[in-house]
Amino acid sequence: GENVEQHPSTLSVQEGDSAVIKCTYSDSASNYFPWYKQELGKRPQLIIDIRSNVGEKKDQRIAVTLNKTAKHFSLHITETQPEDSAVYFCAASSPGSNYKLTFGKGTLLTVNP
């Protein structure tokens, strides 16, 4: 089955700096890659996703890049703000796994004012 590795497990940055979180996946047939943000005590919320037919997607300060050859994808947050502090999860799914989402272990991002 699919295996998703996420790094780093914790990340601390100064406000205004950029943050990058990386994930690798094992199933070359995976074609959908969402990123979820979970603030303390709250539900995971989808913040951005990308499909395998594109290499990059942006939404304001958030961007995701996908390298299908290397089987990795990354979340980029620019101009970080304290409210970006949360746990971020990557995930991958493929038709072969019945579109089941396989999640990474999460990255705790702390943005220091």
Partner 1 sequence: ETGVTQTPRHLVMGMTNKKSLKCEQHLGHNAMYWYKQSAKKPLELMFVYNFKEQTENNSVPSRFSPECPNSSHLFLHLHTLQPEDSALYLCASSQDRLSETQYFGPGTRLLVL
Residues near partner 1 (CB under 8 A) are 4, 32, 34, 36, 42-46, 49, 89, 91, 93, 98-106
Least spacing, CB of residue 26 vs partner 1, in Å: 13
Nearest approach, Cβ of residue 94 and partner 1 (Å): 10
**Is residue 99 left, alpha or beta, with left meaning phi > 0 and alpha meaning psi from -120 to 50?**
left
CB of 75 vs partner 1, minimal distance in Å:
16
First to last CA, the chain: 41
Q: Which is nearer to partner 1, 57 or 103 (CB)?
A: 103
Element (H, E) at 77: strand 72-77
* Residue closer to partner 1 (CB basis): 47 or 80: 47
> What phi, psi does 82 have (nearest 5°)?
-55, -35
